[in-house]
Amino acid sequence: MDQLQQLKQMTTVVADTGDIDAIRQFQPVDATTNPSLLLKAAQDPKYTELLQEARDWASQHGGDPHSRLESMTDRFGVLIGREITQLIPGRISTEVDARLSFDTQATINKAHQLIEQYEALGIGRDRVLIKIASTWEGIEAGRQLEQEGINCNLTLLFSFAQAQACAEAGIYLISPFVGRILDWHKQRQPDADFSFDKDPGVQSVSRIYRYYKAHNYDTVVMGASFRNTGEIQALAGCDRLTISPALMQALAEDQRPLEQQLADGMASTDAKSSLNESAFRWAMNEDVMAQEKLAEGIRNFAADQIKLEQLLAQA
């Protein structure tokens, strides 16, 4: 078997794309989208009909011009999600507007709107994960949504503190980023050896995985944001891994044996603990990498959300 097939035997493979053709080709269990991926999809001619469908829907359901634009972008994300759910057996992750990352109630309201749209299209909430940035406000929104039976994917997760808070909040799934952590360290240590398990992003996800399993948290760990296949190979056995089509293709072309690196029952050196808001914010303040990458990620997703709105606004 190739490495993608081997990986699927030990880890749930998730497609990190909004590309319908790639999802059809690689047959993942789940799929994730974000504003950057939706922006890319919106510029692909094969999604022209979905763009028009989103515009038509917004003209009927929107109010003032700003509300119509917001409705249009939400609808496009849901329509992409609808198409993807027809190709996968599992769940689609749909992201809340990054500009709501520091507003708990607004995030909850947006999640309700997205779920209502999916359910109106005949897609139950059991097929959807609401994707939220792992700010304190986002985690608190996730806590409330989980209590309502709306499962969440907490993304832009770079620190152990974020992972601790998500587990205590009862979040269904987290997306700890690997490649963006590596980017930060490589910028500061360009000559360092970050291969395989020396990769700081790999080390971060491995630590979180071990902590969750050792302390019996149900929250799913889904490694994300990969820069190379070595990072994926080093996390083989993680609950889930969300992988771009290019890296899935590279794994599919690799016939070497793939060794499982993570498994339930592994020990953790971290004692179980919970964080209140002040402790969480202090831990983030002390973690320069996590603080910088979280802020950068929110800014970049917000910028792509605005570009998507501008594209959708074009008649």
CA atoms of 62 and 203, how far apart (whole Å): 46
Q: What angle do CA 13, 18, 20 make, to 5 degrees?
A: 85
CA 170 to chain centre: 17
Bridge partners, 152 (sequence order): 130
Residue 308: CB partners within 8 Å, gap ≥ 6? 35, 38, 39, 42, 73, 76
Tell me which amino acid residue 147 is: Q
| Nearest C-alpha neighbor of 11 from the set 260, 201, 267, 199 | 260
Give me 288's structure tokens.
Answer: 């320069």
- Angle subtended at Cα 270 by Cα 269 and Cα 275, rounded to the nearest 5 degrees: 175
**How far apart are alpha carbons 273 and 270 in whole angstroms?**
9
Using alpha carbons, select from 17, 10, 155 the residue that is nearest to residue 87.
17
The answer to whether the beta carbons of residues 260 and 9 sit under 8 Å apart is: no
Task: Indicate if 293 belongs to the active site.
Answer: no
Out of 131, 213, 272, 307, which one is annotated catalytic?
131
Task: Give the residue numbers marked as catalytic.
Answer: 131
